Amino acid sequence: MPFTVVVSGAPELEQGDPELVALANGLAKARAVAVQEPSATVIGCDTVVALDGRLYGKPADESEARSTLSALSGRTHVVLSGLAVLSAGRELTALERTRVSFRELDGETIERFVAVGEWRERSGGYAIQGQSAALVKDVDGDIDNVVGLPLARLLELCPELAGGA
């Protein structure tokens, strides 16, 4: 299905209940774009990383990236994506959860991955589809969710997007 990526410019919540933050941000992004494109089907998605109820957003710098990776080391965190589909006057929302377990990371490993730079613009300071995959011990759930768009959940929410389904 052809699509166009539009950066919404919507302000994002960075604190609060992780599930509510992901849903609110996904909906805000979709609504901001729908105002510009009222006849389009608009999909908004926001993906956050949470550990023990704390949000780990996009690290601002290398120091914050080190701190985030250290916090995730040897632990299991949850990746939450809030989806919103706006079409023909209706708003549909869904939340996807994936549990990701990191290996124990020593200081040298953290430094190596910070130097690679995949932490930039990534919730939780890593990109599972890149070199950061080596940090991961186990994934319980949809890996597409961790990459940033849970396609299976999206198609459950809005089956007509499958084109012929």
Q: Which residue numbers are catalytic?
A: 46
Q: For residues 26 and 53, what is the distance between their CA atoms, to the nearest angstrom?
A: 19
Is-contact 77 139, C-beta < 8 A? no
Please tell me the distance from the alpha carbon of residue 48 to that of residue 56, in angstroms, as a whole number.
7
Question: How many residues are present in the chain?
Answer: 165
Return the residue matching tokens 């949000």: 55
- How far is residue 148 from each of residues 13, 45, 48, measured CA to CA in Å? 17, 8, 9
- What 3-state DSSP class applies to 12? coil
